[in-house]
Amino acid sequence: MNLLDFDSDFDVVVLGAGVIGINTAYWALRSGKRVCVIDRQPAAGLETSFANGGQISVSHAEPWANPSAPFKVMKWLFDDRAPLLFRPKFDIHQWLWLAKFLVNCLPRRADRNTVEIVKLATESRALLRQIREREGIRYDERSRGILHFYRDQREFAAAVGVAELMRKFGCDRAVIDTDRVVEIEPALAERKRDIVGATYTADDESGDALLYTQRLAAVCAKMGATYLWCSDATALDADRTAQRVHSVEVRTPDGYRRLRARDVVVCLGSYSAPFLRPYGVPLAIYPAKGYSVTIPTEGSNAAPVTSLTDDEYKLVYSNLGGRLRVAGTAELSGYTRNLNLRRCRAILDNARILFPKAGNFAKATFWTGLRPTTPSNVPYIGRTRYRNLWLNTGHGTLGWTMGAGSGHRVVDMIANDDGPVLASA
């Protein structure tokens, strides 16, 4: 670890070394900035970016908040095996978030949010390819598209409408029949009779977000980034009158340090909201706990090769070189990451029913992570009431998909000293 002098100066201090923070650091370094990244973990990508669904999925741009959501949420309320579980708490932030979520379910809002996410995700997918080629990073990536399949006629009909909206804004999400489904993903042949329809987005991809984040972090280190690992960002010296943040206080393993920076970017995932609250920056970010199961395929040729989304159970499947990752479900239950075994078993059972010979289910491993979710699913990318305090956070279900593009956008705003003022109290 680099030992820093008290009061070290940087151009940009990035708080958080998840997939969002590391992409931000990368673009800042490319624009010639001196960059320091701070994270409480001993390496990059160890929290929500650790074992996600692996999808680079522009086609997944439809936000959770859409016109059909309130009905579904009511139906699933308190059902332990439901894809979305709401556990009410005495927490004003949870209730405020929920109220905003309901507002975003209005059809016009949902369409506007979908379009905004499609634009950012498309931009991001192209930049991810650029980074991969330029830096020679490998992360068990696959460029075989993403297939969404439906077992419910009504859900499929709704998806056809959303796919049409996405196509208008550049996401080539095609509606396909079941013969084509099996052509694209032979492992679904046995299930063909249950599928009523599907969409396929050939340009979408998949890959291991953790591998990418850690390999890009290594590239950033070579480009000159300073890292402070095992270090908690504890406070900001924020001056409301001057509208500036003068420094960041950090608790490192060697004691407290104060870092001065021209610009500070907050990429703390679900923890961005509590971190910024004392400074009058109210972020509507609430953690949505998700689960993933990783099954070693052990050479099986019956595992799916294309990244899939099973709409009925809201589960995604990605083949990550010798591992089948299955991820999904959302639990609005605060900051706990504990594993609910019923939910783990539900995911494993679904995977086993669909692909019984996909791998060694007895060796499956389970994980949970907290998606930093905004009510609209649109992330915060912009500046705050403090002119040099920037936000790149709240990427919810699509942080892996939107990471490269979000980092690029916020660094562009910093370079031009121009960006929308977000979350003003």
Q: 209-222 and 399-416 are packed helices; what angle lies between their axes, rounded to 10 degrees?
A: 30
Q: Rounded to the nearest whole angstrom, what is the least distance from the CB of residue 50 to ligand FAD in the complex?
A: 7
Strand partners, 200: 147, 174
Pairing of strands 323-332, 84-86: parallel
Q: Which is nearer to ligand FAD, 36 or 178 (CB)?
A: 36
Q: Rounded to the nearest whole angstrom, what is the least distance from the CB of residue 136 to ligand FAD in the complex?
A: 22
Among 8, 57, 294, 333, binds ligand FAD (CB under 6 A): 57
Q: Are 49 and 207 in contact, with CB atoms under 8 Å apart?
A: no
Among 397, 407, 410, 413, binds ligand FAD (CB under 6 A): 397
Q: Which is nearer to ligand FAD, 132 or 395 (CB)?
A: 395
Among 83, 197, 207, 369, binds ligand FAD (CB under 6 A): 369
User: Is residue 66 part of the contact set for ligand FAD (CB under 6 A)?
Assistant: no
Q: Which is nearer to ligand FAD, 189 or 339 (CB)?
A: 339
- One DSSP character per residue, 106-173 reads SHHHHHHHHHHHHHHHHHHHHHHHHHHHHHT--SS-B-S-EEEEES-HHHHHHHHHHHHHHHHTT--E
Compute how many residues bind ligand FAD; rule: CB under 6 A.
Answer: 42
Q: Are 212 and 139 in contact, with CB atoms under 8 Å apart?
A: yes
Helices (H) and strands (E) in the chain, counts: 10, 19
Q: Rounded to the nearest whole angstrom, what is the least distance from the CB of residue 291 to ligand FAD in the complex?
A: 6
CA distance 303 to 51: 18
398 DSSP 8-state letter = G
Tell me the window of 38-46, 100-108, 132-140, 351-359 that interacts with ligand FAD (CB under 6 A).
38-46
Q: Rounded to the nearest whole angstrom, what is the least distance from the CB of residue 108 to ligand FAD in the complex?
A: 25
Residue 371: partners with Cβ closer than 8 Å, 6 or more residues away: 48, 270, 287, 288, 289, 290, 330, 395, 396, 397, 399
Task: Enumerate residues 268-327 that contact ligand FAD by CB under 6 A.
Answer: 268-269, 271, 275, 290-292, 316, 327
Q: Rounded to the nearest whole angstrom, what is the least distance from the CB of residue 329 to ligand FAD in the complex?
A: 7
User: Where along the sequence are the contacts to ligand FAD (CB under 6 A)?
Assistant: 16-21, 38-41, 46-49, 52-55, 57, 232-233, 267-269, 271, 275, 290-292, 316, 327, 369, 371-372, 393, 395-401
